[in-house]
A and B are shown apart, each in its own frame.
Chain A
């Protein structure tokens, strides 16, 4: 059996070891920022919805990371994350229905052209 070099072994150890809490937090923050950027710049209402979903996922990731890492959290953040998931699903259902209604009355899903709420 060939001997594994020390550097390779250390690299493998760092790969297997649990990453620091800041890693998850930074990934969640970047996910939130990308979602916010997309929600600001895109014109299609559906893409705006997807970007809002990205923001929700970033926040959820932060919540679960805290729940797993902080000793006093007791893991309850995971339950909150499930509730966030359910509410996000409800938001998607209602949002898609609103987009369909707007599309039916205006033939567009461009959020720049939908400036009035009157039917």
Chain B
């Protein structure tokens, strides 16, 4: 389901269909997270990606939508097969390296299934996770900067250009 939806993102003609396929793909990935003993991360994935990011991208589509010609020649540039070759090369190389390597003693079930342990890891309280105290603060500052930057960049400047963006 994840991979089929990912292909749908790349190959669907309509941008809205791409966004919906993308949320389907994210749902598949969150299912993988549940299988990997990270139910809290799966919940974050559903909330942030399937909820927030998809909605934000749909808003972006609404703002920038034009009547489109729905033909592959207009939505895809000329590097279709070259890009396909590059992507298949990268994917085959990664898959080969990752599966040829001998991950000795790899067994499932090392993850912090308890949400409490996961939270202590994330806040840097537990043993061996002290770096997360710093990373957590850095991430929060980065989110603040990103919000301010998003507002500044997308703001319509007063007295510059005409509304709807036609420049004089």
Contact = CB atoms under 8 A, between A and B. Distances in A.
Interface of A: 18-19, 21-22, 24-27, 29-38, 40-44, 46-47, 49-51, 53-54, 57, 60-62, 64-65, 67-71, 73-76, 78-79, 81-83, 85-94, 96-101, 103-109, 112
Interface of B: 2-3, 6-7, 9-10, 15, 18-19, 22, 25-26, 29, 32-33, 35-38, 40-41, 44-45, 48-49, 52-53, 56-57, 59-61, 63-64, 66, 74-77, 79-80, 82-84, 86-88, 90-92, 94-95, 98-99, 103, 105-112, 117-118, 121-122, 128-129, 132, 135-136, 139, 142-143, 145-147, 149-151, 153-154, 156, 161, 164-167
Q: What secondary structure prevails in chain B residues at the interface with A?
A: helix
Contacts, number: 260
B106 A69 contact: yes
A99 B60 contact: yes
A103 B49 contact: no
B73 to A, nearest CB: 10
Contacts of B41: 64, 78, 81-82, 85
